[in-house]
């Protein structure tokens, strides 16, 4: 698999998912720089025991960052869950939702955790105002990530690029903070994120499978497509 780093891209590629087999396979690929997951992906994968799944992942993934998310909604409970998750490994980042389910900011949670040296990945961020808010409470001595959900921003008809660019600018003074282009919708997003200097992009297996198509000859791609249509029509036994 040709991946962005092997194609001289600067952006780091994190695999996003909750399939243990896929994670362990991708861990052996030097172009995959880290891993992220979330409760929704874990539920879809049929994960029943959160800590057991994390333990299995971290037994094999020891030198690449892995993000696991809290699922509490109360401030204190969120902090306690985060402390427990952080204790699972030195390469663990704790995903903290930007907001509580009530719409209130988790700024206080992030401030408390990073003051204790816990690495966080602030997730589901969609506005630069929110990025600016969190930039004020992140500990500049502790590694952190801010995940801009660019794909979901695009789902609203907005161009996410200016938002990601401004987020990078806001966090530039914090040497330990990295911006993640999260929830990409297509392979083009990898190119876009790299071109604006985004630090990291997450990618699900659907996007990772298309990585080999970067720079693929378009005439060849056209022929591949025509041949696919022809073969599918033939295999279906269609008649006119």
Chain position carrying tokens 């029509």: 233
- The pTM for the full model equals 0.93
3-class secondary-structure state, position 151:
helix
pLDDT of residue 2: 53
| Residue 55 CB partners (closer than 8 Å, separation 6+) | 88
pLDDT of residue 3: 53
Distance (Å, rounded) from C-alpha 206 to C-alpha 14? 13
Instruction: Establish how many alpha carbons lie within 13 A of residue 201's alpha carbon, considering only the half-sphere containing its beta carbon.
Output: 31
95 classed as catalytic: yes
Q: What is the pLDDT of residues 171-185, one digit of tens each?
A: 999 999 999 999 999
Which token pair is 131?
């990025």
pLDDT of residue 9: 84
Mean pLDDT of 78-92: 98
Given a cut of 80, whether residue 30 has pLDDT beyond it is yes
Given a cut of 60, whether residue 86 has pLDDT beyond it is yes
Given a cut of 90, whether residue 4 has pLDDT beyond it is no
Q: What is the pLDDT of residues 146-173, one digit of tens each?
A: 999 999 999 999 999 999 999 999 999 9
Distance (Å, rounded) from C-alpha 23 to C-alpha 66? 10
Distance (Å, rounded) from C-alpha 167 to C-alpha 147? 10
Residues 147 and 171 sit within 8 Å (Cβ to Cβ): no
- Nearest alpha-carbon partner for 104 in 84, 67, 74, 81: 74
Domain 4-212 has CATH 3.20.20.70: yes
Distance (Å, rounded) from C-alpha 153 to C-alpha 148? 9
Mean pLDDT of 106-132: 98
Mean pLDDT of 61-89: 98
Given a cut of 60, whether residue 1 has pLDDT beyond it is no
Mean pLDDT of 47-67: 97
pLDDT of residue 19: 95
Which token pair is 163?
């938002």
pLDDT-based confidence at residue 212 (cuts at 50, 70, 90): confident
Distance (Å, rounded) from C-alpha 158 to C-alpha 143? 29
Mean pLDDT of 93-119: 98
pLDDT of residue 156: 98
pLDDT-based confidence at residue 24 (cuts at 50, 70, 90): very high
Domain regions of the chain by residue span: 4-212
**What are the helix and strand counts (H, E) for the chain?**
11, 8
Is the model more confident about 142 or about 213? Answer: 142
Which token pair is 40?
């929704």
Q: Which candidate in 95, 119, 136, 209 is catalytic? A: 95
pLDDT of residue 240: 92
Residues 73 and 104 sit within 8 Å (Cβ to Cβ): no
């Amino acid at each position: 698999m040709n991946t962005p780093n092997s194609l001289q891209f600067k952006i780091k590629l994190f695999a996003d998912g909750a399939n243990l087999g896929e994670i362990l396979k991708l861990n052996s690929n030097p172009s995959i720089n880290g891993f992220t997951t979330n409760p929704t992906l874990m539920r879809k994968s049929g994960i029943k025991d959160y800590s057991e799944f994390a333990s299995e992942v971290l037994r094999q993934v020891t030198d690449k960052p892995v993000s696991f998310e809290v699922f509490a909604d109360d401030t204190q409970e969120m902090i306690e869950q985060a402390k427990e998750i952080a204790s699972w490994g030195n390469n663990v980042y704790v995903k903290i939702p930007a907001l509580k389910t009530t719409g209130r900011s988790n700024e206080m949670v992030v401030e408390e955790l990073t003051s204790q040296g816990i690495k966080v990945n602030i997730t589901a961020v969609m506005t630069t105002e929110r990025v600016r808010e969190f930039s004020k409470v992140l500990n500049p001595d502790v590694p952190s990530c801010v995940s801009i959900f660019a794909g979901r921003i695009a789902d609203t008809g907005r161009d996410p690029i200016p938002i990601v660019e401004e987020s990078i600018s806001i966090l530039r003074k914090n040497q330990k903070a990295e911006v993640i282009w999260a929830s990409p919708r297509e392979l083009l997003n990898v190119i876009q994120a790299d071109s604006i200097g985004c630090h990291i992009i997450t990618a699900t297996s659907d996007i990772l499978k298309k990585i080999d198509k970067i720079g693929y000859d378009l005439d060849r791609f056209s022929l591949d497509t025509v041949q696919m249509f022809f073969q599918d029509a033939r295999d279906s036994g269609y008649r006119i």
